[in-house]
Structure 1
């Protein structure tokens, strides 16, 4: 299933399932309570919920509950993660373009949940920065409480997938790197974790390690790769991250970005796509309306 949290014309946030590329079905009209897809999937299960949607569509029970995609505003599909765990330098070419050594084990950092926004939301570069960069990533959504998960059992804790853009104030990050300081501040500003449009249940993705990723700015393709080029795959990431850290339902693991990073000018739209998971588009506004430095 492709599940979205959307804000309707009357300013309600509702949970909806994609029934065609252009239409969504409100699940509250089917008696499904709540707007959090993580909680709803844990209560119902992906297949029973999908069957309920199929029966409603086939039997005419969806009348009046259909929403055109173009008539809603997308919220982050995961509303309340306890943590957003990001993986740095997890594609060889990306490490090389940043003149960074390829890590011998996963390097992680955290974004605050307050950085999340949905598909279509404006990303704001704060006035203290003059260079905002995009980073397309496949994100894993955790579905159960787990710790010390062996790599071979990774699938039991994965609820689904989404697209995440690890937006970065690159000029501030480079200063932090030069001073041997953490990157979290340059990665954690409000709106710096666009996510969505959908939470895609795990059964919809046959192999998350063979997915194409692209990112465009305007009409120009800036990033293009495949998840098979990760240095550390999802099984190993889950094993390492959960070693001593409890994963909770709704936690997000952003699995790293490929090469091709660069700045986004004021007023441009960055569009991140992960094959079979979705396309996430967000316009960029510089709070000082300065053109970012070349890079």
Structure 2
């Protein structure tokens, strides 16, 4: 079966699922014909069948240059967006967290927080300490939940690139009840994602991928997913013991050290900043903040 990547973008004026094959971009319609699904969510809802069909298909024509495509968020309205925090030991240290978590520490985010590769992200007026976080993303392809009997590893359809943007203002002034995750994480367009989703079978080891974030070409984060406290499968196992994970669900897995808030003096995203997240084998996500 051939390796490929999936995205969503605008071709001929229409938003549609895209395929990256041998360095060229095709629409799924050009590869699968009239019966191609209308969205990537539809692809992941029948993942086993479509993965086989796409991997064996032979596209007609030369395809497109990936640099010429206007991308959209890969899955516009996933059933759930779940984020895991404090999942790299070095990031815990820079955030002055002294106790290792005994399970993946997670929260949920609205899909309105998603943004596309290449999209200009408008900084909201209220928070003044907006930060970056490079993260590996998981895409679910098979429902898995309490008592389902599904192996968590089999539920993972693919991996993607995420920038988990955070408003840090409410960490310093948090009340005793804890951090207001909505005020920190739920702002519109605060989770750029993509542009590509790489099938899990095309990723030899998700726990051995170089991950890097640059701000205006200056490296701020440089690590490897081998430094995660809880790996991708452990995260899916934990979350699926609580709730049913569904096809198309998106999970962010935490960030390594190098965030702006942990620096001396602290740094934050400013208008005009261009932030690039690269994960080995998965691609590059870039956004300018305005």
Structure 1 residue 179 displacement after superposition: 6.0
Is 150-159 or 110-119 further displaced after alignment? 150-159
- Matching residue within 102, 115, 118 for 2:116: 118
Aligned equivalents of 1:256, 1:149: Cα separation in 2 = 27
Aligned equivalents of 1:150, 1:90: Cα separation in 2 = 26
Partner of 1:185: 183
Structure 1 residue 37 displacement after superposition: 2.2
Q: Deviations over 1:183-232 (max 9, x none)?
A: 23211111101000111111110110111100000111000111111111
CA contact (8 A) 1:176 1:183 kept: no
Q: Is 1:98 aligned to residue 95 of structure 2?
A: yes
Partner of 1:51: 56
Structure 1 runs (4+) deviating above 6 angstroms are 149-152
CA contact (8 A) 1:116 1:190 kept: yes
SS of residue matched to 1:222: strand
When residues 149 and 182 of structure 1 are mapped into structure 2, their CA distance, relative to the original with a 3 A threshold, is: farther
Aligned equivalents of 2:177, 2:103: Cα separation in 1 = 22
Q: Is 1:34 aligned to residue 37 of structure 2?
A: yes
SS of residue matched to 2:122: strand
Partner of 1:67: 64
Q: Is 1:3 aligned to residue 1 of structure 2?
A: no
Aligned equivalents of 2:289, 2:94: Cα separation in 1 = 24
Q: Which runs of 5+ in 1 are unaligned?
A: 286-295
Structure 1 residue 257 displacement after superposition: 0.2
When residues 149 and 89 of structure 1 are mapped into structure 2, their CA distance, relative to the original with a 3 A threshold, is: farther
Partner of 1:258: 256
Structure 1 residue 92 displacement after superposition: 0.5
Partner of 2:274: 269
When residues 114 and 173 of structure 1 are mapped into structure 2, their CA distance, relative to the original with a 3 A threshold, is: farther
When residues 150 and 29 of structure 1 are mapped into structure 2, their CA distance, relative to the original with a 3 A threshold, is: closer
Structure 1 residue 149 displacement after superposition: 7.3
Q: Deviations over 1:66-117 (max 9, x none)?
A: 2332322111112221111111100001011001132122110111111111
- Matching residue within 169, 175, 194 for 2:192: 194
- Matching residue within 79, 82, 106 for 2:79: 82
Structure 1 residue 46 displacement after superposition: 1.5
SS of residue matched to 2:151: helix
- 1:211-290 paired onto structure 2 within 5 Å: 211-262=209-260, 263-285=268-290
Aligned equivalents of 1:151, 1:213: Cα separation in 2 = 32
Partner of 1:148: 146
When residues 47 and 25 of structure 1 are mapped into structure 2, their CA distance, relative to the original with a 3 A threshold, is: same
Aligned equivalents of 1:271, 1:157: Cα separation in 2 = 29
Structure 1 residue 33 displacement after superposition: 2.5
SS of residue matched to 1:257: coil
Q: How many residues align structurally?
A: 275
When residues 149 and 36 of structure 1 are mapped into structure 2, their CA distance, relative to the original with a 3 A threshold, is: farther
Q: Which runs of 5+ in 2 are unaligned?
A: 261-267
Aligned equivalents of 2:254, 2:132: Cα separation in 1 = 12
The alignment's TM-score, normalised by the length of structure 2, stands at 0.88
SS of residue matched to 2:108: strand
RMSD: 2.0
Structure 1 residue 237 displacement after superposition: 1.0
Aligned equivalents of 2:29, 2:149: Cα separation in 1 = 37
Structure 1 residue 177 displacement after superposition: 6.2
Q: Is 1:134 aligned to residue 132 of structure 2?
A: yes
Partner of 1:290: none
